[in-house]
Chain A
Amino acid sequence: MAEVTKSNSFEKTQNRYGWFFISFALILIVIFLLYPIVYSFYLSTTETKGMVQKFVGFSNYARLFKDPMFIKALKNTFIFLIIQVPIMLFLSLLLATILNDKSIKFKGIFRTGIFLPAVTSLVAYTILFKMMFNSGADGMVNKALMSMHIIKEPIQWLLDPFWSKVTVMLALTWRWTGYNMIFFLSAMQNIPDELYEAAEIDGANKAHQFWYITVPMLKPTIVFTTVTSTIGTLQLFDEPMNLSTGGPSGTTTGPGNSLLTLSVYIYNLCFKYTPKFGYAAAVSYVIVIIAAILTVIEFKVAGDNNESK
């Protein structure tokens, strides 16, 4: 009996220490994460114009559906999401497969080279892209394409609603493909060689091996990268902001607001227009809701068969 009490009190002491040690982190999380989350939700139920604030319930959310600017931002964000994310993930998967091949030499150099864009600053690389994709005939990309006789007239990269979206997608792909590739590469280390050997004996070519071994074995990683890329795209801010004329103080974000994303819209609502922090908070909660829904869908589509692991 005495033994039991002893071990109980020992456990208690241990628990006390445990709580003590994590309390610092917990307090910080509550102050800097939980409080802002709760407060921004409260904010989203108020109508603010600078300092003037009043409670309006959910009318900010109702108003969203009638706001053409918000709908435009939502549409733009989804265009980026639907087109850019699949292309990028497929590219990184392909690159990872190629770089995982045992017969390739200088793997380290290629891997580093492809990953390197991921360590550059978002603003710095966007500014470089803006210079490269100058719309005139003297822009680097235009010049290159024209001297290769691929195009005759300079492409209006950042002056045309369609091409400006293409430019952003190219920039995003350059920046994030290597980053996602690293996840695939590391996951590929866990695929046993025997599977490929057996497949080869059965007469499967490289394409078969890719589709029937690599892809299924990487499913958890694919889900993970899809979810992170989805969330990242929903929060897209730096690239459209910096690629658009005049940056934050420009008249529109990209020609005809073609680069207006939800996050840029939040910025505009807070700092460019007459500040409406309440409405901006509502928009940010919409991002959360959309991201949550998409994440659930992505998990469902991927199936639950990795539960057993």
Chain B
Amino acid sequence: MKKVISLLLISVMLFSTTSCGKKADESASKSDKEGTETQAEKSGKLTIWAWDPNFNVAIMNEAKTRYQKDNPKVEIEVVDLAKADLEQKLHTNLASGVKEGLPDIVLIEDYNAQKFLKSYPGAFADLTNKINYKDFADYKVSLMTLDGKTYGVPFDSGVAGLFYRTDYLEQAGYKPEDLNNITWDKFIEIGKKVKEKTGKAMIGIDPNDGGFIRIMLQSAGQWYFDKDGNPNLANNAVLKEALKVFKTIYNSGIAKVTNGWDEGCKAFNSGDVASVISGVWMTGSIKAEASQSGKWRVAPIPRLNIEGSVNASNLGGSSWYVLDSSKNKDVAIDFLNSIYAKDNDFYQKILVSNGAVGTYIPAQSGSAYSQPDEFFSGQKVYSDFSEWMKKIPPINYGQYTYEADSAIFALMPDIFSNKLSVDDALKKAEDQLKNQIK
């Protein structure tokens, strides 16, 4: 008898494995059943999903206040979710075909744009003729375009820069001009000098993070995939060069190895590293350490020693999408259009209070962009960033960026330790990736 009972118990436990994947559905179906139908005088309720309360959510709340001034009848709720949670909810809801739990507007990371557009055809509203895309940076529009239709409203830019400590570099004998438009080889050379003279690492590196590789790839107008979306790893000269640079930085001793976001921020906030290469959105985290004011500057990112590579690239960034199933679709589009595609003053405001660089070109001649920043030794950093933004090579990220990232970085420990050559590793990664995305 005892045995029968324990067998029963065990079989229940066994099967709970299969059912646990379903849990997410239940939590995701918490819905708001509000939302009215009249569209003439712009009323109704908009629900918006976004992540990062200090950045995206705060900015959306600013947009909400502005829109409600003219449209007091529109109710807007901005829901703050963790990025992974937001994506999980969106996937389960869209895949289940239940429309009720979905928001009206959702924030999607640019690397994931094609994934959502291709996986859920018809789920997002086609905005091709609703938004004037000529006002936005090219690279941003191309990543949200599928089969000639453009879906999102471009939001923040991830234009990359080389942030550096002027005091450390001065000690090593470098002036700000010496960092303008350099190559990665030069960057490593400078790093060695900095290490020698100051004892500080040149840069923080996270061996599990694909950020550097993505910055290098886009600076040469390349990606993990070719123009038709086929994996392009094994014969991708740019990627090979990028991996070699990454490996050299890791093994050359000029880098402080960090693990995860918090440790990465700690490395520069505590003064352990002389530079940071990241998207413009990193500005806020760098400025968080007020005692370092006046010690930083920003230069263009290094370029690869390869033809076609420029000193401008992008890391991250995201955009707003309207769900096609939204009951207040037109209000949602009008909201995004009148704030994000027209309101110049809005972009000045979010630049000052959140350090957000939009991809809306007309805003970049505004007053806030030309202000010198004391923290960056009086440099007009934002006008520099918007200059670099125009030079970012437009590419199609495709829908499998994270699969590719994972395939390559799974082999990274072997690349670092020379167990695998870069060529062999990329061959292996390409096979793996092809299998993964079949």
Q: Which A residues contact B (CB, under 8 angstroms)?
A: 32-33, 36-37, 40-41, 48-52, 63, 66-69, 72, 134-136, 156, 158-161, 220, 224, 227-228, 231, 234-235, 244-252, 254-258, 260, 266, 268, 270-275, 277, 280-281, 284-285, 287-288, 291-292, 295, 306-307, 309
Q: Which residues of B, 407-425, contact A by the 8 Å Cβ criterion?
A: 407, 409-414
10 intermolecular pairs with C-beta atoms under 8 Å apart: A50-B94, A50-B95, A51-B123, A245-B259, A255-B412, A257-B406, A271-B84, A272-B87, A275-B91, A284-B21
Which of A136, A231, A266 is in CB contact (< 8 Å) with B13? A231
Residue of A160, A227, A244, A307 contacting most chain B CB atoms (<10 Å): A227
Contact pick for B6, options A156, A224, A245, A247, CB 8 Å? A224
Complex CA gap A66/B12 in Å reads: 30
- Do the beta carbons of B432 and A68 come within 8 Å of each other? yes
- B340 → chain A, closest Cβ, in Å? 24
CB proximity of A48 to chain B, nearest CB, Å: 8
B121 CB contacts on chain A under 8 angstroms: 51-52
CB contacts under 8 Å to A, within B100-139, are 115-116, 118-121, 123
Q: Are B14 and A231 closer than 8 Å at their CB atoms?
A: yes
Interface centre among B15, B400, B437 (most CB of A within 10 A): B15
Bound: A135/B208 CA distance, A: 13
- Cβ of B259 and Cβ of A247 under 8 Å apart? no
B3 near A136 with CB under 8 A, answer no
Instruction: Report which of A227, A246, A295 forms a contact with B208, defined as CB distance below 8 A.
Output: A246
Is A271 a contact partner of B432 (Cβ separation < 8 A)?
A: no
Determine how close the nearest CB of chain A comes to the CB of B363; give it in whole angstroms: 29
- CB of B84 within 8 A of CB of A274, answer no
Residues of chain B within 8 A of A248, CB atoms compared: 84
Of the candidates A136, A234, A277, which one forms a contact with B95 in the assembled complex, judged by CB atoms under 8 Å apart?
A277
With a cutoff of 8 Å between Cβ atoms, the chain B residues found around residue A288 in the complex are 14-15, 17-18
Q: Assess whether B237 is interfacial by the CB under 8 Å rule.
A: no
A232's closest neighbor in chain B, by CB? B13
A256 is contacted by which of B83, B88, B411 (Cβ under 8 Å)? B411
What is the CA–CA distance of A185 and B405 in the complex, to the nearest angstrom? 48
| Residue contact B409 to A251, C-beta cutoff 8 Å | yes
B210 contacts which chain A residues (CB < 8 A)? 251
Question: Nearest chain A CB to B324's CB is how many angstroms away?
Answer: 12
Known: A52-B121, A288-B17. A247 touches B436 (CB 8 A): no
Q: Which of A160, A224, A246 contacts B209 (CB 8 A)?
A: A246
Task: Assess A228 versus B88: contact at CB under 8 Å? Given A49-B118, A49-B119, A135-B257.
Answer: no
A37-B209 in contact given A50-B95, A246-B261 (Cβ < 8 Å): no
CA distance A191 to B6 in the complex (A): 20
**Distance between Cα atoms of A48 and B95 in the complex (Å):** 9
Residues of chain B touching chain A, judged by Cβ–Cβ distance below 8 Å, are: 2-3, 6, 10, 12-22, 83-84, 87-88, 91, 94-95, 97, 115-116, 118-121, 123, 206-210, 257, 259-261, 263, 399-400, 402-403, 405-407, 409-414, 431-432, 435-438
CA distance A140 to B295 in the complex (A): 31
Given contacts A37-B19, A249-B84, A277-B95, 20 further A-B pairs with CB under 8 A are: A33-B15, A36-B19, A37-B15, A49-B118, A68-B431, A228-B10, A244-B208, A246-B261, A250-B209, A251-B405, A252-B208, A252-B410, A252-B412, A255-B208, A257-B410, A268-B406, A271-B91, A272-B402, A273-B436, A291-B14
Structural contact, B402 and A51, CB atoms closer than 8 A: no
Q: Which 4 A-B pairs have the closest CB atoms?
A: A50-B119, A248-B84, A256-B413, A257-B410
Question: In the bound complex, do residue B10 and residue A227 qualify as a contact, i.e. CB atoms below 8 Å apart?
Answer: yes
Q: With a CB–CB cut-off of 8 A, which chain B residues contact A275?
A: 91, 95, 119
A274 touches B95 (CB 8 A): no
- Rounded to whole angstroms, the CA-CA distance of A246 and B412 in the bound complex is 16
Q: Which residue of A lies closest to B13 (CB)?
A: A231
- A306 near B3: Cβ-Cβ < 8 Å: yes
Cβ-defined partner of A274 (8 Å) among B6, B13, B118: B118
Q: Considering the chains assembled together, what is the distance between the CA atoms of A37 and B11 in angstroms?
A: 12
**Cβ-closest chain B residue relative to A286:** B17
Q: B413 and A160: CB pair below 8 A?
A: yes
Which of A67, A68, A284 is the one whose CB lies under 8 Å from B18? A284
Contact indicator A295/B10 (Cβ below 8 Å): yes
Q: How far, in whole Å, are A164 and B282 apart by their CA atoms in the complex? A: 28
Q: A245 to B12, alpha carbons, bound, how many Å?
A: 34
> Which residues of chain A are within 8 angstroms of B22 by Cβ–Cβ distance?
36, 40
A287 B2 Cβ-Cβ under 8 A: no
Q: Is the CB of A36 within 8 A of B18?
A: yes
Measured in the bound complex, the distance between the Cα atoms of B44 and A226 in whole Å is 57
Q: How far is the CA of A250 from the CA of B263 in the complex (A)?
A: 14
| A residues near B436, Cβ cutoff 8 Å | 67, 69, 273
A37 touching B10, Cβ below 8 Å: no
Give the docked Cα–Cα distance between A111 and B62 (Å). Answer: 54
A159 and B259 contacting across the interface, CB-CB below 8 Å: yes
Contacts of A291 in B (CB 8 A): 14, 17
Closest to A266 in B: B21
Query: A292 contacts which of B14, B259, B407 (Cβ < 8 Å)?
Result: B14
On whether the beta carbons of A245 and B123 are closer than 8 Å, the reply is no
- Shortest C-beta distance, B4 to chain A (Å), equals 10
A273-B400, A273-B436 known; A231 and B10 CB under 8 Å? Answer: yes
* CB nearest neighbor in B for A248: B84
Question: In the complex, how many angstroms separate the beta carbon of B204 from the nearest chain A beta carbon?
Answer: 11
A136: chain B residues at CB < 8 Å are 263
Q: How far is the CB of A17 from chain B (nearest CB, A)?
A: 24
What B residues does A50 contact at CB under 8 A? 91, 94-95, 116, 118-120
A residues less than 8 Å from B18 (CB atoms)? 36-37, 40-41, 281, 284-285, 288
In the bound complex, do residue A249 and residue B259 qualify as a contact, i.e. CB atoms below 8 Å apart? no
